[in-house]
């Protein structure tokens, strides 16, 4: 049985899954290389300063870089957990993984541009290099780009977990693992729905301010979903 061969996870007591991947697969290795390449592209503009003025300019660039890094690490962590939990390498998993990596790379520059502009507008931190600019009429397009990337990443993870759920017999998932897998599908669908709300607000004419603030819903939506999922898990375990 696959469960007999599965490794205990190291993700903490809150993760009920047994890890079915013993080694880093070629699929994971390739994905890690792409994530590393994406982070390199994020940092490539941070050149070694030669004067104090240039040093301060580089330090200003670390604010949007740090935000982008945090978001990419979160995506990488979700990717890591999925492949440790299920260890799947079939054709559909490979295709969905390739789509996720494509979105990550396509998402890279819009993400960096957005947070550079926000750091400039909200914190008064000017970009490290001159020439950054966006017209008021173009802000809506930037919000659409960010929303589309946000939804795509969340819903690709939902599709990955849905695929694992369909293969629950082959993976020999326990009842608790089936419940948690289904919860991951719903959770990522809800997460992507926040991006849909933002896009709809932008399209309705509510403005970029409300479209951007829609992402504050992520905390309550994820928190409520995780609380309800934990209660269902405890009920099943009991």
For 73-118, the pLDDT digits (tens) are 999 999 999 999 998 999 999 999 999 999 999 888 888 888 877 7
Q: Is residue 62 part of a domain?
A: yes
Q: What is the pLDDT of residue 13?
A: 41
Q: Is residue 103 part of a domain?
A: yes
pLDDT of 220 > 70? The answer is yes
pLDDT of 46 > 80? The answer is no
Q: What is the pLDDT of residue 44?
A: 65
Packing angle, helices 139-166 and 91-123, rounded to 10: 150
Name the band, by pLDDT with cuts 50, 70 and 90, for residue 192: very high
Q: Is residue 230 part of a domain?
A: yes
Looking at the 3D structure of the chain, how many domains does it have? 1
Q: What is the pLDDT of residue 103?
A: 94
Q: What is the pLDDT of residue 85?
A: 92
Q: Is residue 7 part of a domain?
A: no
- Max mean pLDDT range (12-26, 32-46, 160-174): 160-174
With a threshold of 0.95, does the pTM exceed it? no
Q: Is residue 211 part of a domain?
A: yes
Q: What is the pLDDT of residue 5?
A: 46
Q: What is the pLDDT of residue 142?
A: 84
Packing angle, helices 139-166 and 175-203, rounded to 10: 160
Contact 6, 18 (CB under 8 A): yes
For the segment 156-182, the average pLDDT, to the nearest whole number, is: 95
Q: Which domain holds residue 109?
A: 24-237
Give the Å distances, CA to CA, from 215 to 156, 188, 211: 19, 14, 8
pLDDT of 172 > 80? The answer is yes
| Residue 87: partners with Cβ closer than 8 Å, 6 or more residues away | 19, 20, 21, 22, 25
Q: Is residue 10 part of a domain?
A: no
Sign of the torsion angle spanned by Cα atoms 94, 96, 102, 105: negative
pLDDT of 237 > 50? The answer is yes
Contact 155, 186 (CB under 8 A): no
Q: Is residue 16 part of a domain?
A: no
Q: What is the pLDDT of residue 214?
A: 92
Q: Is residue 139 part of a domain?
A: yes
Nearest of 171, 76, 175, 71 to residue 118 by alpha carbon: 71
Q: CB-based burial of residue 105 (10 Å sphere; 0-12 exposed, 13-18 middle, 19+ buried)?
A: middle
pLDDT of 149 > 60? The answer is yes
């Amino acid at each position: 049985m696959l469960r007999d061969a599965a490794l205990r996870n190291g993700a903490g007591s809150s993760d009920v899954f047994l890890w079915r991947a013993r080694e880093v697969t070629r699929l994971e290795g390739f994905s890690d290389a792409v994530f590393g390449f994406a982070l390199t592209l994020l940092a490539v503009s941070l050149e070694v300063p030669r004067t104090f003025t240039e040093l301060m300019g580089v330090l200003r660039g670390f604010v949007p870089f740090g935000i982008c890094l945090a978001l990419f690490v979160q995506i990488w962590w979700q990717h890591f957990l999925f492949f440790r939990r299920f260890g799947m390498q079939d054709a559909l998993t490979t295709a969905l993984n390739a789509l996720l990596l494509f979105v990550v790379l396509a998402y890279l520059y819009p993400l960096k541009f957005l947070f550079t502009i926000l750091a400039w507008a909200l914190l008064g931190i000017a970009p490290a290099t001159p020439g950054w600019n966006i017209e008021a009429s173009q802000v809506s397009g930037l919000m659409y780009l960010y929303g589309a990337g946000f939804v795509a990443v969340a819903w690709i993870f939902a599709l990955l977990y849905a695929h694992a759920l369909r293969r629950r017999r082959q993976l020999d998932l326990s009842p608790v693992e089936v419940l948690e897998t289904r919860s991951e599908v719903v959770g990522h669908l809800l997460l992507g729905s926040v991006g849909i709300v933002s896009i709809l607000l932008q399209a309705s004419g509510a403005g970029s301010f409300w479209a951007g603030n829609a992402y504050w819903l992520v905390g309550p939506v994820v928190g409520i979903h995780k609380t309800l999922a934990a209660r269902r898990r405890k009920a099943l375990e009991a």
